[in-house]
Structure formats: structure tokens, C-alpha cells
Structure 1
């Protein structure tokens, strides 16, 4: 098997790749490699020259280096650092500057001499930038070059800020940032319009001179560009592909970032595999979509000419495999997401009994419920289940400042007494003054956060009532981590878990629905899921009702589960799609242009409808019934 893996990497992967189960494990390993280099250089009386990166990717590497310094005596006295890049213009004291980033995560926490730290200067006058960049190159060369260069990878394929079009021999220079790069940075700056359009960056050629290059990537968001960088052709459109030309590079990935590499995504194309039922299902779905041919029409020849001859030999003929996979997919489809009473449920996604289930739908933000599974939400209520919804956070971050003033103006006009009007006017004046001087990404005062939260609360109530829930089944958790996280990333979640356990004990659900969007491990959805999971794990140790509690995961408006992973597919009629749309429309503050739209310019209701219609289209393409839309779910296995 090891030899086959080596051959597979030679055929598909054009650079050395090491994959770890988690980003934590990968980061610790990289930190220890850096530590060994520093200690080796210390032993020889030499300096360790490190090329450092910023962004979310290297944070855990720096955290482990700080731990090694504090707990194991790792000294940085002999370390000289050169950072890859900096926004331009950018003052070093600004929160978004990479100087601030490096101080916060590493430099202020270890004993590195200040004079040994080099970060591109975002305040250099424009007419001096070229000379400054040449001097930056000379400084690196004066130390004999970089011993290790750490890299992340942007979704444009940039390394450093070497955007598409960069030359492989480019040096340190001023560059213009790609629009996608600026969109990705928009949350840190309080909007894309506040992100600088330029940056100073080491060049691809500068990076190439390092004795060792380590490119790190974590989570599913990076999987597509990682595959292109590792397996794709050399291209100026994806500067990271230039790393294929280096003899000193290694890609360090977690499983999610590596998930689209051939050896993980379609391993039958790379080597002989052990054909489990799950892998066979994935391969048959892939083959059907690849050939645009219904599953029941696939032939032995289709299998043999697409790397699946071994599957036919072991488990064939093809038609027998086709029938099995087709039936498995057919059985995922149900119009009864809470189970269908009085029927044989042995091949259904959900249990028939009890006929009326206690259900709780956890919504990370106040609109995820209707956006992500609004049709299923409506159907569960229509079919007589005791449905509860729990809005885990206030969602106050995603409300426009103008909306606060508009609501306050209404409250002032509606005030019943002069004293009440005066009190509200004072809040209004203070809010308006704050907004006039508000800096990008500045945290709102508590009173404004409260008002923004109340705006979203009112919208959520309207949506849940439209679905058919009584008010006593609508819960607003306002989990503490959400606002704490605005001031510190080092937060404890114990009170969030305890609050969630209390609610679960109150409802005693047979079904729990939770957001399963894990592409961003630092995002609210992931944190909210981890809180639910921890609460359920603890309750399973003491509460008998949890033995009959199933946890179903849904995804948001951007991505869906791959077809072969879907375990429950709930089809929606055109009328149900319309009802879901109206439920989404109740969230007026999120319509048109939301505060944080992400990459997708479409409105949330459009994204949701496109996603569910695309899922239905894929089922039909595989040869199953042609539905208007399908919402998909995966069951969590404890």
C-alpha cells in the first residue's frame, strides 16, 4: 500500500503532501519543526531566520511556539524574522495591521529581540516604496536567506499577496489586491470598502529562495484551491502552483483541506481500494454524474473505463450494483421528516414512533432555521409534531446601523409621555453620535447591540409564527459566547453548554436539528454545534430520554452535503418553496444587501432556493423523481 501511495502521489500530487487528522495536530508538528531548527541553530551559535505568515492559518503554530517558550524554555534570542506582507497603506498600530497581529500572537509573548523583527512597512511614502522593497530583499540576503518560510494559501491561490498574474521570479514589491482577497478580509475591516486595495509582499522568487517552504491549509473552504495548487497545471492564474517547481516545499494539510485531492475524493482513480458499501455508493454517484447518465443505465463498460473495474469484479455485475445504490438513494427521500406513522420504517430515514415527536431546531443566527430547512420546519409543524426553535445567538452583528436609528425614531414618535420621549431621544442622540465617528469593525456599545438584537428577535418571532409555532415554543438563548467573542477570542463555553442542557431537558426532544456548516472552524455555526454536541454528550450520561434522541444536521444557504452522504432528503412542492420564501422574508434586516453577504451577491432566499433546486436536480440526474426542491440532512453518529 505504501508503494501504491507513492505512485499515486507521483501521478496526481506534484508536491510532497502531509495530511493530519486535525489542524491542531498539524500546527503542533509545524511548531516543533521550527523549535528544532531554533535549538539546532542555538547549539551551533547561529541565527534561525524565519519567514512568517499571518491570518487564521498559522495562529495555532504560534500558540504552540509560545507554549514551548513558556513551559519548556524555548528561547527566541537567536531568531530573526521576516514577515511575508502588509497592507498598504497601513499604520502599524491599527488593529488590522500585521504588526498588531504578530505582536498579539507571537512577538509580545516570547523573548525575541525587537531589532530582529522585520515586517513590511505600510507607512512608507509611495515614491519610496520601490527602494524600500529592494532594501527588504537585501536584508533577507544579508542573513543568508530564510531557513523556513511559512505560507498560507488564499482562495485566489495567492501565496503572500502574490495574486493571480504574479511572475515566478517576482521580488518584494507593491501589489494590487484581488477582489476576492479583499472580500475575504472584509469582516476584519468592517466591510470590503474599508480593506486597502494594495499591499507590500515578498515575491514568489523571494519565497523560492527559502531553504524550506511549508504551506499550511485548514478546512473545507481551502480544499478546492489546494487541489488546484497540488494537482493542477502550472498557471499564473494560481500562483501557488509555482511551488511545484521547488525542491524544498511541503504542503501540510488537515483532512478537510485535503478532502478534494484525488486520493481522498476519488481514490479508485489513484489505486486499488477496499470497496466498502459507502465507497461504492460514492463512486457510483460520481460515475453517474460524470457521464450524465442515470444510475440504472450504467454498464460494465462504464465501470471498466473509469477506474472501477475492481468494483465490478468484486461486487458486480454493474446492474446489481446500480440497483443497490439506486434503492439506497430512493430510501433517503421522505415527505415525513418526523417519521410516518403506521408504516414499516426499517428502510426509512426516521422512526415511525412516536407519531408525534418532540422536536427542537437550533438556529445559530435568527434566520438560519428558515433559510436552511424552512420547508422541513414547516412540514414538521404541519404534521403535528411538538416543534420548538432555539435561536442560539442574537445575530446583532449583522444589522445595519441605519436600522437602529430608524427603529429608535419610531420609538420616540410612539412614546406616550414627555419623559419617555426624552429618555429615548437621549439614546438616539448618543447612537447617532457614535455612528458618525464609528471606526471600521468597531464594536457597538451595549445599548446598540441590544437594539440590534431586538430587531432580529422580532423578525425571528414573525418567521417562527408564520411556520406555525406557538410563542411558548420560540426560545432565544442569546448565548454569552457571542458577545464575549467580540472582545476576546479566548472565551469559555461552560455557561453556554449549561444553558443548552437546561433547554434540552425542558423539551426532551426525539429529534434535534442543528447546523452542520463546518467549513469555517472559527465561525459561529461551528461553535454553536460544538455547544449542542457537548450538551448532548453530557446528558447522555444521566438522562434516559437521550437514548431515543436523534441529532440531524442541516447546512446553510451556500453549500449542501454531497449526494452520497445525504441520509434524509425532504422534497418540497412549489407551494412549500413559496411558503419557505415568505418565512425568510420575515427577516427584513437581512434582505437586499446583508451586512456580511460573503462571496455570494445573491440574496439569502435566492441562495436557499437555488441550493435546494440544485439538490433536487442532482437526484433527478441520477434517475430519481423530479422534485421542485430538496432539503438534505445527515444524522450525527454518537
Structure 2
């Protein structure tokens, strides 16, 4: 019976999928699969032939393999490796090369014979590439093929660098990279213009010959492409769908990457459910969206025709369900994000007391506050709350180099205008200009340049916070140490990061904390900053009484928005408030027009914010609620 239930749940899935609650658990599973294969081959004196991948996805697997080598004696002396791909052209000692990546993340830390390591050669003359690719295939075949190939998946659906349009029988070859793939790589290269347009990659046909294939994906950012790969029709538009044809494949996902799969996203379509209030709310809102009906117009036939007959039977009549959900959605709407004084707060998202609250808005980058919750920020100040804003990082990697020269030139001219000596500043400026003229892609800036970039972001943030109405002593710049590397790759979080946040919390003793909950941020800064805040609050909760009355609200908006069923507080914005929010975002001039790291959304940040806020308001209106100009959405995090 259990097997039949599983088949029912996964009937939309066209290949085997194993889902783990966390990336850490999933990584351990894959690493131990590899280790078991290596050890079983060692026992019979054989060699293990591994196909390896690069990128963020397999790093945790490599870390666990290194740990197994150092702590549990796993030897790699009998292992032969073939990497999937390499940029072309690419020098092996370049920071962005996959040779460097594999050495830094795996090979330098284990006992593998370097003569048994194979990575496509990005230094070849173009005329020599075809022969190299044929030889790469021949070496794999002469060894009896790959025992195990591990894969990640790109947001175009590529595996290796087999982009949309790749043939299922393709071999190792030179390919042209998709524009989205290059955009995703731009942070590693200091801008998309520096990303190579081509790469050498194993073909899909080569991958298919492996005796085992494991495709890994982590985080909600990969959820939509995973759904296409697992549940979609086989198509060259999504090369990963070809894996549906293999009998030897397994997808290993964390909960985030699996979240769009039918059995997790809309489980009522595949099985009987335990109808918690959360699931009921999600299902009714989903049904209204599918049918484009207001909640109060949904009928029993609508429920029965869309997998929700069980809910109708167990908790019906459906009109009562509709009224309950409609009321729950309506009660999330408030024009008083700090609580409405002297009002019944039993049906409101925030407490009425104290009437004037102390609030801290934590902003990972110096503009997330106004981009994601600028309207609510302004509303809190206008309503008389004691609002502080804390910028957790300097954001100094996200400023164009020519802006540095422009600002220093301004400083030189200003000093001249007031009769100050400019000799020393001019010398520094000359050094900056020389450095920038010779700067290599993603090269770490000098400390002076990093300082100027940080100053630019700082002054913009001050201007934005002042526009929102804050006095200067309520504007805090934390410069958390984990971020201040000058590189896109940041340090691990340390005790000092948490201590600095704890000190600010202790000094303000807030009733409300607002933190970025947009963990789909492609740079990963948001989730790191959130975890620091959470660690600080959890430590303080053990010793300080005020923390028990402190509510933690999450905001989004810069990258994604909360789903309607998730929203616990929706703050409507008038047309005038939308304009005020836009003006606050405009203070961040270095991020206007084309920011250094725009991510996968080519709209300017202010446009993204307004579009998402209007979309949220539109979702509420479609459900039968009042029509507002825009809405900012929040979810409360219980810690």
C-alpha cells in the first residue's frame, strides 16, 4: 500500500526524485554514494571513473568528500575523473577556470593522482578543439565509460553546457553559451561582458552513457526549472528533460528545489491531505487563481473538479470555507504596520500596544530597505514610531569603476574650490586610475577604491533614509565582517557578525524587527544576513526579557515576492505613497539604469518593486478584496 501511495503522489514525475529536508542532508547522501562506489571498486582492485561538475551546486559534495578523506581515510588513488566542461577560451590558472575551481574545492585536498584528472582544455587553438573533443570521448570509452556522473542544472535547463537546442545524442564539443547562462556567471567575471561566449562541454549522449547519473539542485531558485525537467514534456528547449529517457538517473533535491513539484506545491491533486488551515488557505487561493474567480464565488463543482472534493466533504459546505478564507485574507490588510492604537487588534496582523513602537529595519545591502519595503518604512515614520534602519553590508562590490573616478574628481575640485591642498588626493587618484586601466575581470580592488565604493553606497543610503524621515542618529552602518572581502566570494559568518547585530538590538530593544526574507537573492547575501539576525535574537532571547515581545517580520521585493497564501501582513500603498517610495529608491543613483549585478531580471529596481507591489494588490483584488494601487507584503517569522 505504501508503494502504491508513493506512486500516486509522484505520478506527475517522469523520473526518480529523492527530496531531502535540507541541502546538508542531500549533499551527505550524494557524497556517501560516491564514497561507497570508490570503496567497492577498491575492494576488487578496480578503478572508479567519475564525471564531475562545477558551479555552486556540487561544492558541498566536494567538501564532504574532503572530510571523508581527511577524517575517515577515503582514498582517491584509484579514481579517474572527467569534468563536464570548461569555458573557452580560458587559461587554467584564471580565477574563473574550472581547473582552478576543482583544485580549490577538491583536488588540492585529496590524494588523487593528477595524471588521472581530465578537464577540457580552454587554451587550445580553435582548429584543435574538435580533435581534443574526440580524444576526450575516446579516453572515457577506453576506460569502460563513466561509473557515475554528477550534474547540476542551469536555469535554462542546461546540463553541462548543453544549452537549449542540444541534441540528445550530442558528444563532447564546442558550444555557444546562452545569454541567461552568461548573465548567471557575470558575478564571477566582474560583468557579463567579461564572460566567455563559448565553452567545451561533454554532450548529452556522453552523459547518458554513464552507469549512474545524479542531478542535484538546491534552493527555491531552481524550483521552476526542476519542475520542467521532472514533469514537463521532453524538449530540446529544456535539455535536462532528456534525462527522462535514462534508466540510470536520480534527481537529488532539497525542499526548496522540489517546492514546485506537484506533490509539494498542489498535493491535493495527487493524494488525500491533512487539511491544516495553511494548506486549506493555499488550496482555495490556488483554485480562485486557476478559475480567475473571487473566493466567494467558488462552488462545490469547482472544488470537486480540481482535486479538492475531500476538503469540501470534510469541512464544507464550501461557501463556509470560502467565507473563512476570505476573512483570513482580508484580516492581513492593514494601513497600520506598527499596529493601530486604541483599536481591537484581535483580527489585525500587528499589536495595538505599545502605540508607539521601536522598530529596526535591517537591510542586507544599502538599498534593500527602500526597494522592498519603502512604503511601509515611510508609513512607520509618518505614524510616529521610533524607526531605525541598519545597513548590514557596505555593498561596495556593486559600484561601477568609473563612478569611483567621478566621485574622487569631484572631491579634488571641491578641495580646490575651498583652498585645500589636493596633492595627496591627486596622487591617490592617479594610482586609482592606473589600477583601473589595468584591472583584470573580477580582480580585487585596492583598499582606497573599495572605500570610495563603500562611501558612495553609504551616502546614497543616508539620502534614502533621510527622505523616509529618519534622523541621522537612527541610521546605522554595520559593515559586517563576513562581507568585507572585496570579492564576490564572501567569508563565513563569524562571532563578530552576530555580536555587532546583538549590540544594536540591545541598544534599541525593538518591538519590531524587519529583515529581508528574499532567500532567492542570487548573491546569497540576504539569507546570510537573515541567519545572523536570527542567531542574535535567539541568543538574546535566553537572557533578555524584551526579546519575548519582539516580532520578526520578513519582507521581499527585490528579487521575488511572497505567494498570496503566505502573506500575513499586507500594507496598501496609495498612488502618492508609490511615488514617495520611488523617490526614495532614486536616491540610490549607483544602482539606477543598469546596476553592476542586476541578477536575472533586467528591469530597474524601482520598476521591479512597483510591478511586484501592483501584482500583489492585483492578486488581492482578483480574490474579491478591495482594489488598491499597490501592496507591500510581510510574513511573520516565529523564533
User: Is 1:294 equivalent to 2:314 in the alignment?
Assistant: no
How far the C-alpha of 1:480 sits from its partner, in A, is 1.2
- Partner Cα distance (1:350, 1:184) in 2: 39
Q: Does 1:16 align with 2:16?
A: yes
Aligned partner of 1:594 in structure 2 is 595
1:181 — aligned with what? 181
Q: Give the gaps of 5 or more residues in structure 1.
A: none
1:520: how far off? 4.8
Structure 1 CA distance, aligned partners of 2:342 and 2:531? 35
Residue aligning to 2:212: 212
In structure 2, the residue matched to 1:366 is 366
Q: Secondary structure at the match of 1:397?
A: coil
Question: Partner of 1:171: helix, strand, or coil?
Answer: coil
- For residues 423-462 of structure 1, what are the structure 2 equivalents within 5 Å? 423-462=424-463
Alignment of 1:449-488 (within 5 A): 449-484=450-485, 486=487
- 1:57 corresponds to: 57
Is 1:493–1:531's contact at 8 Å kept on the other side of the alignment? no
Given that 1:558 and 1:611 are in contact with CA atoms closer than 8 Å, whether structure 2 keeps it comes out as no
Q: How many residues align?
A: 638
Is the 1:370–1:580 Cα contact (8 Å) retained in structure 2? Answer: yes
* Partner SS for 1:65: helix
User: Aligned with 1:571: secondary structure?
Assistant: strand
Q: Aligned equivalents of 2:527 and 2:552: distance in 1?
A: 15
Distance in 2 between residues matched to 1:256 and 1:95, nearest whole Å: 30
Q: 1:401 matched to which residue of 2?
A: 401
- Structure 2 gaps of 5+ residues are none
Matches of 2:523 and 2:594 in 1, distance apart? 24
Contact kept? 1:485, 1:491, Cα under 8 Å: no
Provide the rounded CA distance (Å) in 1 between the counterparts of 2:253 and 2:9: 15
Whether contact under 8 Å (2:517, 2:554) holds in the other structure is: yes
Q: Which moved more, 1:9-18 or 1:274-283?
A: 9-18
RMSD: 1.2
SS of match in other structure, 1:256: helix
**After superposition, where does 1:184-199 map in structure 2 within 5 Å?**
184-199=184-199
Who is 1:388 aligned against? 388
Answer whether contact 2:262 2:269 (CA < 8 A) is retained.
yes
Tell me how far 1:420 sits from its aligned partner. Answer: 3.0
Write the distance in 2 (CA, Å) between the matches of 1:604 and 1:522. Answer: 15
The Cα of 1:29 is off from its aligned counterpart by 1.0
Aligned with 1:185: secondary structure? Answer: helix
Cα shift at 1:275: 1.1
Which residue in 2 is equivalent to 1:554? 555
User: How far apart are 1:600 and its partner, in Å?
Assistant: 1.5
What is the Cα deviation at residue 59 of structure 1? 0.2
When structure 1 is superposed on structure 2, of 213-222 and 481-490 the one drifting more is 481-490
**Counterpart position of 2:504:** 503
Question: 8 Å contact 1:484–1:491 — kept in the other structure?
Answer: no
Once the two structures are TM-superposed, the CA of residue 363 in structure 1 deviates from its matched residue by: 0.5
Q: Deviations over 1:461-519 (max 9, x none)?
A: 11111111111111111111111373865534210110110000000000000000112
Deviations 1:432-476, CA, capped at 9 Å, x for gaps: 001100111111111111111111111111111111111111111
TM-score (norm 2): 0.98
For 2:295 and 2:557, how far apart are their aligned partners in 1?
28
Tell me the secondary structure at the aligned position of residue 332 of structure 1.
coil
Task: Judge conservation of contact 1:396–1:456 (CA < 8 Å) in 2.
Answer: yes
Distance (whole Å) between structure 1 residues aligned to residue 5 and residue 156 of structure 2: 29
How far, CA to CA, are the matches of 1:106 and 1:538 in structure 2? 35
> Does the residue aligned with 1:25 lie in a helix, a strand or coil?
helix
Aligned ranges 1:117-516 → 2 under 5 Å: 117-415=117-415, 420-484=421-485, 486=487, 489-516=490-517
Write the distance in 2 (CA, Å) between the matches of 1:66 and 1:260.
32
Deviations 1:290-333 (A, max 9, x none): 00000000000000000100000000111000000000000000
Partner of 1:637 in structure 2? 638
Aligned equivalents of 2:8, 2:176: Cα separation in 1 = 38
Q: What is the correspondence of 1:500-539 to structure 2 with a 5 Å cutoff?
A: 500-520=501-521, 523-539=524-540
Deviations 1:120-168 (A, max 9, x none): 1111211111111111000000110000000000000000000001111
**Per-residue CA shift, 1:229-275, capped at 9, x if unaligned?**
00000001001000000000000000000000000000000111111
- Aligned CA distance change for structure 1 residues 222 and 569 (closer, same or farther; 3 Å): same
* Matched-pair contact (CA < 8 Å) for 2:187–2:488: no
**CA, structure 1 residues 29+45, in 2 after alignment: closer, same or farther (shift >3 Å)?**
same
